[in-house]
Structure 1
Amino acid sequence: MENYDIPVVSLGKHPIETGKYLIATNEIDRLCYIVSNWIGNKFPGAIIHGRPRLGKTRAISYLIKVLPDEIQQNIPMFHIRCRTYTSPRENSFFEDILAGVGHAAAELGRPSEKRVRLKHFFIEVAEKSKQNKLVLFIDDAQKLSAIQYDWLMDVYNELDEYGIVLTTILVGHDDLIDRRKKFIKNKDFQIVGRFMSDSYQFRGLNNIQDFEILLDQYDDGTEFPMRSSVSFTEFYYRDYFKKGFRLVNYANDFYDVFMQIQLEKGLPSEREIPMQYVTLTIEYIMKKFGYLGDNLSTLTKNQIKQAIINSGYIQSELILLDID
């Protein structure tokens, strides 16, 4: 069996072990194009929605990393997560945003002082970037209430007075579309126009091509350690990688097994496959069947099915089907 140098990585430190890595998918590429257009056209706000576990949060983290190069503008971008408030309070709201954008004095002062501090923070980062644009991604945005939209609108208006365009992108469940319909019915057109002027439905994996693009990233679009030129697949299948082992060669098998499981469990055949469970499936295959596990030279459909079952995909989809 051929051996060649593979960097030594401390136990548990590889991204496949930690889960701390970002990877492009077909859907993320589509989303990148859409969001680039929103920013380029100075949309004040828009919605990214989809059912749980599709990978929306990771997609936003990836976009923040690549969008400045994609649009060739060093636009400051922030990603915050909305909390559930039993009773929305201005003080907690602005404190959470300040903390989310990384402000060092998020907890100090009264609500009015926190609002002013946020405005000055945004103005300062916009000036430093030499751009007149800011992008704020709000995750779990289905939790926002009408009064919180009013507070966000105040921030938008104050920045607009300084010639700064704030694009607020709401990220959350499909409930966001229902909220938009409700605002329209109630004639809250300011909220709709300011924060919901367009929408994009984020989807999971739907076809073989989606699997091919994703698996190819593990084979050739990843690297660890940095500057090692060793992909994730090469690291875990070091004995067979130079002999041609590639996960992308099993794209048809991955898709077929997921479809087979959907049929067996009575799940809708057109139901998209959440990125979270595909990622967990791949990570299981790397660890269980790669060099540090069984060290297999090929994969079978039964092994792929074992990995899918281990990911929790079946239980999760059955629960969501009951909710639907």
Structure 2
Amino acid sequence: MLRQGNHQTPANRPFIPPKSHPVYTGRYLLATNEISNLYNTISRWIDCRTPGGIIYGRPRIGKTRALKFLLSQLPEEYGEDLPIFIINCRHYKTPNESVFFEDMLRDVGHEFFANGKANVKRGRLSMFLIERGLSSKENRVIVIMDDAQELHEMHYKWLMDIHNELDRANVQLTVILVGQKELINQKSAFIAMKRAQIIGRFMVHEYPFKGVCTVDDITTCLVGYDDESSYPEGSDCSFTQFFFPKLYAEGFRLATYADLVYETFQEMRRKANIPGKFEIPMQYLTTTVEFILTQYGFDGVNVDALTKEEIKNAIEFSGYINSETYSEMN
């Protein structure tokens, strides 16, 4: 049974409209070990002027959050004028040049994404990317193709056309393919078919994006809530402090529970007979933490301490066990 705590509003808790905190809205980014590793890898690719590479991992592993982090942080290192675009690859039953370039124009934010035939759209996209690349101090454009496992061979050939047109204009294009493990199968198929141009342009480098695998990974994530976040902006009130104001003032930190969180995940995996190595998709860890903050903090039961049973309830709510069990059935 949950224990009722003290609901008297503390003076050190900022007042904001109900349910407007980023923990409720999901509009926040916190670095993790894996995101930091990915950032360093992408930075090396950019520094070495690599034309492209693959980032792959299982679904809900945290790739989308990582991409948002890249969008926010790369300009700080390479300049605010660095053009970075995320293209959402749709499911294409058959490749269609007009549809493909229209989708790309829409995702880069071009006003006239639907006008004209395929060759006109391709030219419009090339000119847009060239203009943006030439306006940056490094004559560079970064294009991230999300859900890239949906791409067909013909799509890569059309991307090569764009790459060549930017190269002739002295603009360096780096294409980063992000998707599920099928991307590696696609690369193997291209190797078997001797598609050296596609591999050389877009698939030379690989990075396997992982979930949360160690206690240190969990600790880094929890420290983000404890010390490396703040809301409202300029308040210096971390997420943990906002939801546990009284306990936070007394020294409470989520990071001190990292071992217990890890052990509880492990225990629940064993009980559910989930095989394989320990790896938690980031979605489930963040949902677990958000449940703890909202349900056991000041806005919820407002407990006097955090217990293993409450951590277990949060993990159950995240859907992690059900998802892993379902994955093993398929």
Q: TM-score range by the shorter chain?
A: over 0.9
The answer to whether residue 252 in structure 2 is matched with residue 245 in structure 1 is: yes
Q: Name 1:145's counterpart in structure 2.
A: 152
TM-score by structure 1 length?
0.97
Give the CA deviation at 1:11. Answer: 1.7
Q: Name 2:59's counterpart in structure 1.
A: 52
Alignment of 1:94-105 (within 5 A): 94-105=101-112
CA distance in 1: counterparts of 2:115 and 2:241, whole angstroms: 49
Aligned residues: CA RMSD? 1.3
Q: Which moved more, 1:29-38 or 1:3-12?
A: 3-12
- Which amino acid in 2 is paired with 1:141? A
Q: Name 2:3's counterpart in structure 1.
A: none
Contact map agreement 2:12 2:245 (CA 8 A) in 1: no
Partner SS state of residue 145, structure 2: strand
Give the CA deviation at 1:25. Answer: 0.1
Q: Name 2:271's counterpart in structure 1.
A: 264
Q: Name 1:166's counterpart in structure 2.
A: 173
CA distance in 1: counterparts of 2:78 and 2:169, whole angstroms: 23
Give the CA deviation at 1:71. Answer: 4.6
Give the CA deviation at 1:319. Answer: 1.7
Give the CA deviation at 1:190. Answer: 0.7
Alignment of 1:1-324 (within 5 A): 3-71=10-78, 74-323=81-330
CA distance in 1: counterparts of 2:197 and 2:119, whole angstroms: 23
CA distance in 2: counterparts of 1:80 and 1:224, whole angstroms: 30
Gap regions ≥5 residues in structure 1 = none
Deviations 1:84-121 (A, max 9, x none): 01222111100111111111111111111111111111
CA distance in 2: counterparts of 1:68 and 1:272, whole angstroms: 31
- Which amino acid in 1 is paired with 2:243? Y
Give the CA deviation at 1:320. Answer: 1.7
Give the CA deviation at 1:74. Answer: 4.2
CA distance in 2: counterparts of 1:112 and 1:172, whole angstroms: 28
Give the CA deviation at 1:131. Answer: 2.2
CA distance in 2: counterparts of 1:235 and 1:315, whole angstroms: 30
TM-score by structure 2 length?
0.95
CA distance in 2: counterparts of 1:228 and 1:103, whole angstroms: 37
Partner SS state of residue 79, structure 1: strand
Number of residues paired by the alignment?
Answer: 323
Contact map agreement 1:134 1:167 (CA 8 A) in 2: yes
- Percent of residue pairs bearing the same amino acid type: 43
Give the CA deviation at 1:269. Answer: 4.9
- Which amino acid in 2 is paired with 1:236? F
Q: Which moved more, 1:149-158 or 1:128-137?
A: 128-137
Give the CA deviation at 1:267. Answer: 1.2
Q: Which moved more, 1:26-35 or 1:128-137?
A: 128-137
Deviations 1:50-71 (A, max 9, x none): 0111010110110111122235
CA distance in 2: counterparts of 1:322 and 1:194, whole angstroms: 37
Deviations 1:120-156 (A, max 9, x none): 1111111222221111111100000000000000000
